[in-house]
């Protein structure tokens, strides 16, 4: 295959958005997309529903089956890129191919963490949960072994997504979380408490302040998790959901600078000429603190990919900063958290309203006259407006008293911002 004008490594949110970004500017330039997974592009958050049996394989697709052909993309699927040589403008794959490019995008996402010191993690029945194939393999194992008891190690977003699927399959699940509460990176204490109560009602046991020190097996298959508090939890399945790290190994030793992830500027350019990065692997400017952070969520990956694509084709699109935002359903209870979820510093103030019995909680964190974060549990109707106010750094001093009232809506926001939203230029 001859060199591509545009070479994209990855086939998920950032990569797909980049293809669209390129095509907005350059309808004809050759695009080659290379990815480790063999599947057509799919929506990663839906693996929960694939495992839980709520979505079939067709429902997983992120673009129609003929999409690559329609937009003019050559695909090399099932090939892992192992190194990048920015000087030679080439990448190398594990199966020995060398692919050339004029502009390169690295959109390889993250790699799940498997703790090296966890004895027994190689037993059958121990999985990570980040890909279509993981969901498929877990489902198959559950069916073949009649799994009834599971342990999920890690009570963060991916842990919760695993639990959701296991609950849907009627499997009794224990979550083991080292911190003193679940979702500590996403929620404040009150929201975590409501989530844990909700899970307990659905039969999920949440054990905080402890972790698995060893996975026990019999005949090569996992049969229990030994915890640091001395207890052993019997199980036939373990999902490791401790976290995901940006997959930077393919640029190790190259001119592409990394910190936690691949460092990018506001145009998604890396330190190496003609090399861009976007999505979970990229470390880009965060909106509220201004420092570069990896914010591993789907909308960030998509928006960064779109910017990278346009800029690879010669445009000058600019990243307006990443905002941490999580929208999670905890056993039918919708939740959204955005930005800073706990007041920090003297200039910060929290407004909140809680109805514990109704599982309803709303909190807004203000810094001076601006909203910097919010948590919604149960009622999430106004999360969109509040997120827009955070993103646009709107002065809310004139509507402060109304922010948590039931009649707060678009009509209540400062007129200038309302006009921008209604004319389509504001962020909703
Ligand atoms: C279970 C689960 C649930 C989630 N739920 C949500 C949610 O509700 N909301 C939300 O905002 N986010 C959610 N996320 C996070 C979201 O899926 C990611 O932020 C998003 O998919 C990142 O997109 P990406 O394009 O950066 O990378 P990824 O989606 O990680 O894709 C990486 C791509 O690169 C390919 N690749 C990787 N390494 C190589 C290599 N060396 N060579 C070639 N190809 C390679 C992979 O095959 C893949 O195509 C969830 C994630 C998981 C795992």
CATH number for the domain spanning 141: value is: 3.50.50.60
pLDDT recorded at residue 345:
82
317 lies in some domain: no
Q: Strand 333-339 to strand 282-285: parallel, antiparallel, or no bridges (unpaired)? A: unpaired
Decide: 333 in ligand 1 pocket, CB within 6 A: no
For 268: left if phi > 0, alpha if psi spans -120 to 50, otherwise beta; the answer is left
| Dihedral angle sign, alpha carbons of residues 152, 142, 194, 230 | negative
Q: Give yes or no for residue 13 having a pLDDT over 60.
A: yes
According to DSSP, residue 274 is labeled: T
pLDDT tier for residue 1 given thresholds of 50, 70 and 90: low
374 and 401: one domain? yes
pLDDT recorded at residue 423:
63
Give the end of a domain, one of 196, 215, 242: 242
pLDDT recorded at residue 427:
41
268 and 185: one domain? no
In angstroms, the CA 378 to CA 211 distance is: 29
Residue 75 structure tokens:
């695909």
Ligand 1 pocket test target in 183, 283, 297 with most atoms within 8 Å of CB: 297
Å from CA of 218 to ligand 1 middle: 33
172 lies in some domain: yes
Average pLDDT score over residue span 84-104: 97
**Backbone phi and psi for residue 394, each to the nearest 5 degrees, phi listed first:** -80, 140
pLDDT recorded at residue 319:
97
pLDDT recorded at residue 2:
67
Lowest model confidence (mean pLDDT) among 115-129, 252-266, 380-394: 380-394
Decide: 36 in ligand 1 pocket, CB within 6 A: yes
pLDDT recorded at residue 424:
54
Give the end of a domain, one of 197, 223, 242: 242
Contact 186, 157 (CB under 8 A): yes
Residue 422 structure tokens:
């209604």
193 lies in some domain: yes
Å from CA of 110 to ligand 1 middle: 7
pLDDT recorded at residue 232:
98
Å from CA of 409 to ligand 1 middle: 34
63 lies in some domain: yes
49 lies in some domain: yes
Lowest model confidence (mean pLDDT) among 26-40, 204-218, 269-283, 378-392: 378-392
Lowest model confidence (mean pLDDT) among 207-221, 302-316, 383-397, 409-423: 409-423
pLDDT recorded at residue 164:
94
Contact 255, 87 (CB under 8 A): yes
Average pLDDT score over residue span 83-103: 97
Q: Which of 165, 178, 243 is nearest to 204 (CA)?
A: 165
Q: Strand 149-153 to strand 172-177: parallel, antiparallel, or no bridges (unpaired)? A: parallel
343 and 305: one domain? no
The helix (H) or strand (E) run that includes residue 68 is helix 67-71
321 lies in some domain: no
**Atom number in ligand 1 closest to CA 108:** 34
308 and 405: one domain? no
Average pLDDT score over residue span 258-276: 98
Q: Give yes or no for residue 36 having a pLDDT over 70.
A: yes
Ligand 1 pocket test target in 8, 15, 35, 131 with most atoms within 8 Å of CB: 35
Mean pLDDT of the chain: 94
pLDDT recorded at residue 169:
96
Decide: 301 in ligand 1 pocket, CB within 6 A: yes
How many domains are there within the chain? 3
346 and 279: one domain? no
Q: Give yes or no for residue 185 having a pLDDT over 60.
A: yes
pLDDT recorded at residue 422:
66
Q: Give yes or no for residue 399 having a pLDDT over 90.
A: no
**Atom number in ligand 1 closest to CA 300:** 19
In angstroms, the CA 342 to CA 345 distance is: 10
pTM of the predicted structure, to 2 decimals = 0.95
User: Angle at CA 68, nearest 5°, toward 65 and 73?
Assistant: 165
Q: Strand 221-227 to strand 212-218: parallel, antiparallel, or no bridges (unpaired)? A: antiparallel
39 and 19: one domain? yes
**Atom number in ligand 1 closest to CA 279:** 26
Q: Give yes or no for residue 67 having a pLDDT over 60.
A: yes
Å from CA of 268 to ligand 1 middle: 17
98 lies in some domain: yes
Average pLDDT score over residue span 41-50: 97
pLDDT recorded at residue 426:
45
Lowest model confidence (mean pLDDT) among 85-94, 144-153, 215-224, 413-422: 413-422
Decide: 45 in ligand 1 pocket, CB within 6 A: yes
Decide: 350 in ligand 1 pocket, CB within 6 A: no
Burial 184-206 (b: 16+ CB within 10 A, else e): bebbbebbbbbbbebbeeeebeb
156 and 237: one domain? yes
pLDDT recorded at residue 57:
93
What separation in angstroms does the CA of 91 have from each of 17, 86, 381? 21, 8, 46
291 and 396: one domain? no
Helix, strand, or coil (residue 170): coil
pLDDT tens digits, one per residue of 356-370: 999 999 999 999 999
Q: Give yes or no for residue 277 having a pLDDT over 60.
A: yes
238 and 251: one domain? no
69 and 19: one domain? yes
378 and 230: one domain? no
Q: Give yes or no for residue 12 having a pLDDT over 50.
A: yes
Decide: 109 in ligand 1 pocket, CB within 6 A: yes
186 and 87: one domain? no
pLDDT recorded at residue 428:
34
Helix axes 415-422, 383-391, angle to 10 degrees: 110
Decide: 13 in ligand 1 pocket, CB within 6 A: yes
pLDDT recorded at residue 3:
84
Lowest model confidence (mean pLDDT) among 218-222, 244-248, 309-313, 410-414: 410-414
**Atom number in ligand 1 closest to CA 37:** 47
Decide: 134 in ligand 1 pocket, CB within 6 A: no
Decide: 212 in ligand 1 pocket, CB within 6 A: no
pLDDT recorded at residue 414:
75
**Backbone phi and psi for residue 351, each to the nearest 5 degrees, phi listed first:** -110, 130
211 lies in some domain: yes
Domain limits for position 153 = 126-242
Ligand 1 pocket test target in 37, 45, 306 with most atoms within 8 Å of CB: 45
Å from CA of 12 to ligand 1 middle: 6
């Amino acid at each position: 295959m001859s060199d591509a004008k545009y070479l994209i490594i990855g086939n998920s949110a950032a990569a797909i958005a980049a293809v669209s970004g390129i095509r907005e500017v350059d309808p004809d330039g050759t695009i080659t997309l290379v990815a480790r997974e063999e599947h057509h592009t799919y929506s990663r958050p839906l693996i929960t529903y694939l495992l839980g049996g709520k979505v079939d394989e067709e429902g997983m697709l992120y673009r129609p089956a003929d999409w690559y052909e329609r937009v003019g993309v050559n695909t090399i699927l099932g090939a892992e890129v192992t190194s990048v040589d920015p000087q030679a403008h080439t990448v190398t794959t594990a199966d020995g191919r060398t692919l050339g490019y004029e502009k390169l995008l690295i959109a390889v996402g993250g790699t799940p963490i498997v703790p090296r010191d966890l004895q027994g993690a190689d037993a059958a029945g121990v999985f990570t949960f980040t890909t279509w194939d993981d969901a498929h393999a877990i489902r198959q194992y559950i069916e073949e072994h009649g799994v009834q008891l599971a342990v999920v190690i890690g009570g963060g977003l991916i842990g919760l997504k695993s639990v959701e699927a296991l609950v849907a399959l009627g499997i009794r699940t224990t979550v083991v979380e080292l911190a003193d509460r679940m979702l500590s990176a996403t929620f404040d204490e009150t929201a975590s408490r409501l989530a844990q109560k909700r899970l307990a009602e659905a039969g999920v046991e949440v054990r905080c302040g402890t972790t698995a020190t060893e996975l026990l097996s019999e005949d090569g298959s996992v049969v229990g998790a030994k915890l640091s508090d001395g207890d052993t939890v019997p199980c036939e399945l373990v999902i490791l959901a401790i976290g995901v790290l940006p997959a930077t190994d393919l640029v190790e030793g190259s001119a592409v600078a990394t910190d936690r992830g691949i460092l990018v500027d506001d145009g998604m350019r890396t330190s190496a000429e003609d090399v861009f990065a976007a999505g979970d692997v990229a470390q880009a400017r965060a909106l509220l603190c201004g420092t570069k952070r990896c914010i591993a969520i789907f909308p960030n990956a998509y928006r960064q990919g779109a910017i990278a694509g346009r800029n690879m084709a010669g445009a000058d699109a600019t990243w307006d900063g990443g905002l941490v935002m999580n929208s999670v359903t905890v056993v039918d209870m919708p939740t959204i958290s955005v930005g800073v979820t706990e007041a920090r510093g003297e200039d910060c103030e929290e407004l909140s309203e809680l109805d514990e019995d109704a599982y309803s909680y709303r909190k807004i964190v203000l810094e001076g006259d601006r909203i910097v974060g919010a948590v919604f549990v149960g009622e999430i109707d106004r999360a969109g407006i509040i997120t827009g106010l955070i993103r646009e750094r709107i002065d809310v001093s004139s509507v402060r008293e109304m922010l948590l009232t039931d009649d707060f809506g678009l009509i209540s926001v400062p007129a200038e911002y309302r006009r921008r939203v209604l004319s389509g230029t504001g962020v909703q």
